[in-house]
A and B are shown apart, each in its own frame.
Chain A
Amino acid sequence: MSSENEKDEQSSDTAATSSEDAGSLSKDETKKFYEEKGIDFSPDSPVRPKPIPPFEKSISDKIASKFGSKVNVDYVRASRIRVSTKKEDILDVAFFIRDELGYDHAESVAGVDYPDSKEIEVVYHLGSYTDDKLATQILTLATRVPREEIPNPGKDSTRMTSLREVFYSVEFHERECFEMFGVYFEGHPDNRRLLLPEDWADIPPFRKDFKIKGR
């Protein structure tokens, strides 16, 4: 961890000092200091045992029984299901989700860059307006595409099939994902820049190796 990151962490507004900043205080004294201020000092990442909701389970079971080992159900929570698949199978899975399960639009398409595993994850958040039972549900459909060290957007192996013919609403979201992460969507009719300037000559800016100046 660089020293700059440490500086960021210390300027949290909830506490006057963070544990590293306390300096002369010992660990027990620091703990006492926080307890007097009424701040919880229990460990991070709370364990939240939650029962698996039956309705969401039934949806994920349908996908799992149809595609078997092709899909992986990552989690099933209240109103949220996450399914990941290989990029070759995503079109079949998407058609099944639309036609058989009743999801009819995409809320967002998010890219997530994982430079360590040399992959970029593309995450579709799907919802439904027509089926009232699915109104609270968001189905997260994720897939991973290979990531190249020196990107060449549109011409390298960072590409996958576009879901535009399944969910029409992904059109602008996929364009944004293309310019921000360099993921080329095959079959998308309009793979142009959307938000970035036409003369942008740097790497796709939302990749982790694109650094903001001064940070």
Chain B
Amino acid sequence: MTTPLPPGIQLEKVDDRIMTLNVGPQHPGSGHMRLIIKVDGDYIVSCDPDPGYVHRGEEKMAEYRNYIQNIPHLERPVIHDSCNVLYPYCLAVEELLGIEVPERAKYIRVIASELNRCIYTLYWLAIYGIFLGHSTMFMWPAGDRELFIDLLEAMSGARVTHAYLVPGGVRNDLPANFEERCLRQVDYFEKRLKEYQAIFYKNPLLISRTEGTGILSRTDAIRLGTTGSVLRASGVDFDLRKKEPYDVYENLDFQTVVMKEGDSYARSYIPYLEMFESCRIIRDAIRKMPKSGSVRTKLKPNPKGGNDEVYKRVESGRGSLGYYIVSNNRPEPYRVKISVGSFRNLICMPYLLKGELLGNMPSVYWGLNYWPVEADR
């Protein structure tokens, strides 16, 4: 039995407690995407991701250009991971056109894409640091990233948008003395990488925000179809470089990094550990690479694809990246569909954020290894 309220006074309804927050799209941290978050006090009740602010219609553009003209614009979704983004496109076009890639080119591609994976992961780590208010962690990876940018600049001539991988091999051979320079920088980087442990991964700031937050169980990770570091942080041993080795990955010595916790900490730790594996791959590839030989199979002028379709995928910095290309005997593809890791991991966001503290939102969000521009394509 409740006593009648005095006139003009109302009891608070449940809906009144809920406040709707727009995170983004202009937020400097969120990237160009919006999260519509409903909060009850400090706790998130629901989250509705709204991507699409940087949708460029890459797939539509690809239908208007021939297989060679498509190279530079298809790397635009993730310019700081451009070699890995172009890799499945090259594999798919090679299968469509029936091109064999020279052995040396395969090794150079692996080196380029592993260097690029480090560039991507360091950029991601830098943003992770600044998300949690840790500006040293922004400066260190951003500085160390220059090492790899310099190497890829020596390889391809461009600092960020390399367009280095092309169907049939790579655009040009390695410069003189590249191998020694690369090994020297990788050795230095590995020493440097160990220092990240003390400043970031053992930091109570990171641990309090990430340990035990946003837990994704193994069953859910599989059911939601997540990929990349998110999947491996939930205890699923799935890396396409091991499971479906493309080019020369089966000859190289490295491990898949798997953790079973499934929380934000595991998701932030796995890309870091994978950088050590990338260094191992680079070192091994330089040792096993043929010292000379052709690096590019020349294509026919204006190659046509036949009446065929192909689906090829590689492991990018954000997980599996697949290209589905339908061709109809024309120099342009009939349809290009890019299946990207960011878009596939986006589905986790409403699940992980429900019931979470609003203050933990940045670490959960960025731990999903989500790059808005790639998800929108």
Contact = CB atoms under 8 A, between A and B. Distances in A.
Interface in A103-141: 104-108, 110, 112-113, 123, 125, 129-130, 135-136, 138, 140
Nearest to A215: B64
Question: Which 4 pairs of residues, A with B, have the shortest CB-CB distance?
Answer: A169-B225, A45-B306, A108-B339, A105-B225
B51 A195 contact: yes
A171 to B, nearest CB: 6
A169 B344 contact: yes
A110 B60 contact: no
B52 A112 contact: no
B243 A135 contact: yes
Given A106-B225, A168-B223, A80 B311 contact: yes
Nearest to A179: B52
Contact of B61 (A176, A195, A212): A212
Contacts of B231: 129
Interface residues of B, number: 55
A205 interface: yes
B236 to A, nearest CB: 5
Interface string B16-49: 0000000000000000000000000000000000
B295 to A, nearest CB: 14
Contacts of A107: 225, 313, 320, 322, 339, 344
Interface stretch (B76-84, B102-110, B328-336): B328-336
B52 A12 contact: no
Interface in A149-202: 167-173, 176, 193-197
Contact of B306 (A40, A44, A82, A130): A44
A130 B219 CA distance: 10
A14 interface: yes
Nearest to A40: B300
Main SS at interface, chain B? loop
A46 B98 contact: yes
Contact of B59 (A11, A168, A172, A206): A206
Contact of B68 (A12, A104, A215): A12
Contacts of A205: 57, 60
A19 B303 CA distance: 12
Given A9-B331, A135-B244, A125 B300 contact: no
6 contacts: A9-B302, A34-B301, A105-B223, A108-B324, A110-B339, A176-B343
A67 to B, nearest CB: 22
Given A46-B98, A107-B344, 8 more contacts: A12-B299, A12-B303, A14-B68, A14-B298, A125-B339, A138-B313, A167-B225, A212-B61
Contacts of B224: 105, 168-169
Interface in B80-122: 97-98
Contacts of B344: 107, 169
B172 interface: no
Contact of A14 (B55, B301, B308, B334): B301
B304 interface: yes
Interface in A45-82: 45-46, 48, 79-80, 82
Nearest to B171: A13
B238 interface: yes
A98 B346 CA distance: 23
B207 interface: no
A39 B60 contact: no
Contacts of A169: 223-225, 344, 347
